[in-house]
Chain A
Amino acid sequence: MSDDHGSIFDGLIGGDSAQWAFGTDFEDPLAGVDTTVPGGVDHAELAAYCLMLGDDALIMSQRLTEWCSRAPDLEEDIALANVALDLLGQARLLLARAAAADPGVPPALPEGSPVPPEDALAFFRDAGGFRNVRLAEVPNGDFAHVVVRLLLFATARLAVLERLRASTDSVLAAVAAKSVKELTYHRDWAGRWFLTLAQGTEESRRRLLAALEGLWPFQAELFAGHPVELSLARAGVGVDPATARDEVDAVLDQVLAVSGVARPDVAPLPGGGRHGTHTEDFGPLLAEMQVVARAHPSGRW
């Protein structure tokens, strides 16, 4: 960074990016993409909807990233990092789309700050501004926990984004078409590990069932349908998540049946994430994710 003290690194900032062996970052992930909002669609609603889908991916990615160097073996460590990277890519496009739809959405930064709009959204919003479901933010547990969480998350997201491929917003439709391919691998990974843990040892099954019972109550929120989701679904831009419920149930029932595991009989937990009401564990997650960017709001990376 070069924001508040001159340093020997100043000479490396700006200028020709050819000096970097691996390039510098793409300034705009939607460079050259037509981001015109379809006629009749409310810009603020579209931005809010993109934040919901983008924040789900961003926060889930952050939790998966916390697994780096902690998975049972190197292959699964790399698998979780790959899934996290895919979701981060989806989040980046969706947050950029939110900012393009409604430039008033990203928080204001000091004059001249080089932080791009999607980074401003990720690193400079407070907890109440995030629209992700709570399933994405609950703290990590053991390996069974991440398997169950990813199974529930990827199954629901895949079913919703399959439908979003028909969005009249061409950017959302394109991001959905791309993401569906990635989520297919995520869901398969989680489904296979679910089966493996269920049929593994007594201990692996005990842990799997405990994770399933603990996370199942968060599932209801995924299908609750925020007014913005319902309004944009009517406009042909978004998807009412309730319409994906049958498909999600069918997939999960298939995994449960093959694994010999009964559907948990537990009461759903209240949602609120879509309205910005999060669990108490969300603050520490954001603090860790945002601390460096917030310490240097004019930093260049």
Chain B
Amino acid sequence: MILRFQVNATDVELDVLPMARLLDVLREDLRLTGSKEGCGEGECGACTVLIDGRAVNSCLVPVFQVAGAKVETVEGLASGLHGHERLHPVQAAFLEHGAAQCGICTPGFLVAAAELLAHTPHPTRLEVREALAGNLCRCTGYQKIVDAVANALGRQGS
């Protein structure tokens, strides 16, 4: 089927199998490989993307469901071009706090955190833990991830 949707604020039109996984369409057809596959069954969150602002596991989404929708991936979080990009505050906070180690879980956490911060700019640590409970990280023990997200927007807010 011919499918139209938006990815990171760019319109795309693709000929895809309706039941293809959104994750595969992003990674294989659009070569947006920032979203990762850790399990393929909705448990690890490494494939998290935003669909119309809501965080979902793209490994569980048949692509026909995003017809007409706005999809955002980790590649869309920063603005500007490679090398001169302005990081999203949560990306900057991940760097500052050392919240990425091996980094395979990082795109999913960033996207899930971006969703949280969009409606809760100053979350408590518990709210952060709750919002990120669908994402697994094996490297960090989550301490620095929670630090980064809870403090991403600082005191001034946004």
A binds B: no
A residues sitting closer than 8 Å to B (CB atoms) are none
